[in-house]
Amino acid sequence: MQGAWRRLRRRLKRTCLYGWYRRYLLWKEYRVWRCGGTSSTPHLVKQRVVREYARRSGVRVLVETGTYRGDMVAAMRHRFSHIYSIELDAALYADAQRRFARQRHVTILHGDSGAVLGSLLAEIAEPCLFWLDGHYSEGVTARGEHNTPIRQELEAISRHAFLAQDVILIDDARCFIGQDDYPRLVEVQAWAAARGLGICDVQDDIIRIHRRDLPAAGGRMVSKR
Ligand SMILES: C[S@@+](CC[C@H](N)C(=O)[O-])C[C@H]1O[C@@H](n2cnc3c(N)ncnc32)[C@H](O)[C@@H]1O
């Protein structure tokens, strides 16, 4: 039975129905969260946060680390003029490449984001919105040299010529306790302060780093249930 389901899912991935299937799963996850069935922030809320910062900052380039099934790329494809997403796992990378092959403004890159990000950023001559989410999380996900390449990613971002206008969103803030290769949150805050990025807050399990004078958030609060 499980084998049949896996085969069906593999076929589904090659059709345009796959996007609808993923959206349905994310909507189901959101419903469970709304009803108090789980405490972890659902992907739809994370999408709202990325959208909100795109609007507030006016940044037109999204750089994601950790593509996984391509859910963030799919949700943001009409919001940004270019999207780059880096995935370490070869099969996930190939699936994402196939899924977004027709979207000329989407570039899926294969490799360890800790290593790839530096050369990518040397080519991007405008501010970026970063969605840093490339880490090992069991199942089919890849593990590079570290459980999380976040230190190397921040190091690469430090050298981006547009750092002062970049917006950096880091998922899974709860993991930043100094274990399993994750730095402590205070280390990330010190990194941001040392680079003149005045805001380093946490909300909805997302670390948000940017300059102080970003226009205020308008509209709905994303964390309210
Ligand atoms: C939590 S998932 C990403 C979810 C995705 N960003 C989204 O919002 O839909 C983490 C992904 O990071 C990938 N990954 C793990 N280590 C990585 C690394 N060093 N470089 C790039 N990707 C990595 C995993 O294979 C997995 O697909």
pLDDT in tens, 133-173: 999 999 999 999 999 999 999 999 999 999 999 999 999 99
Taking the CA of residue 144 as reference, the ligand 1 atom at the shortest distance is 19
What pLDDT is stored for residue 1 in this prediction? 66
- Whether 25 is in a domain gets the answer no
- Look at residue 83 in the predicted model and tell me its pLDDT: 98
Ligand 1 centroid distance, CA of 213 (Å) = 30
Q: Is 13 inside any structural domain?
A: no
User: Taking 60 as the threshold, does the pLDDT of residue 200 lie above it?
Assistant: yes
Report the CATH number that the domain containing residue 100 is assigned in CATH: 3.40.50.150
Query: Residue 27 phi/psi, 5° resolution?
Result: -65, -40
Listed ranges 10-24, 139-153, 205-219; the one with the highest mean pLDDT = 139-153
0.85 cut: is pTM over it? yes
* Residue 39: band (very low, low, confident or very high) from pLDDT cuts 50, 70, 90: confident
Has residue 7 been placed in a domain? no
Mean pLDDT, the chain, as a whole number? 93
Pocket mutation for ligand 1, best pick of 26, 64, 68 (most atoms within 8 Å of C-beta): 68
Number of domains in the chain: 1
Asked whether residue 75 is domain-assigned, the answer is yes
Evaluate if residue 224 carries a pLDDT over 80. no
pLDDT confidence band for 223 (50 / 70 / 90): very low
**Is the pLDDT score of 12 beyond 90?**
no
Among 92-96, 167-171, 215-219, whose mean pLDDT is lowest?
Answer: 215-219
Answer whether residue 49 is part of any domain: yes
The single-letter code of the amino acid at 21 is Y
Ligand 1 center from residue 182 Cα (angstroms):
15
Q: Which of 77, 93, 137 to mutate to test the pocket of ligand 1 (most atoms within 8 A of CB)?
A: 137
Distance of alpha carbon 176 from the chain centroid: 16
User: For residue 161, how far is its CA from the centre of ligand 1 (angstroms)?
Assistant: 25
In a domain, 35, yes or no: no
Nearest one of 171, 219, 176 to 40, comparing CA atoms: 171
Its domain, for residue 203, covers 40-210
pLDDT at 14: 80
On whether residue 108 sits in a domain, the answer given is: yes
Mean pLDDT, residues 58-70 taken together: 98
- Please report whether residue 3 resides in a domain: no
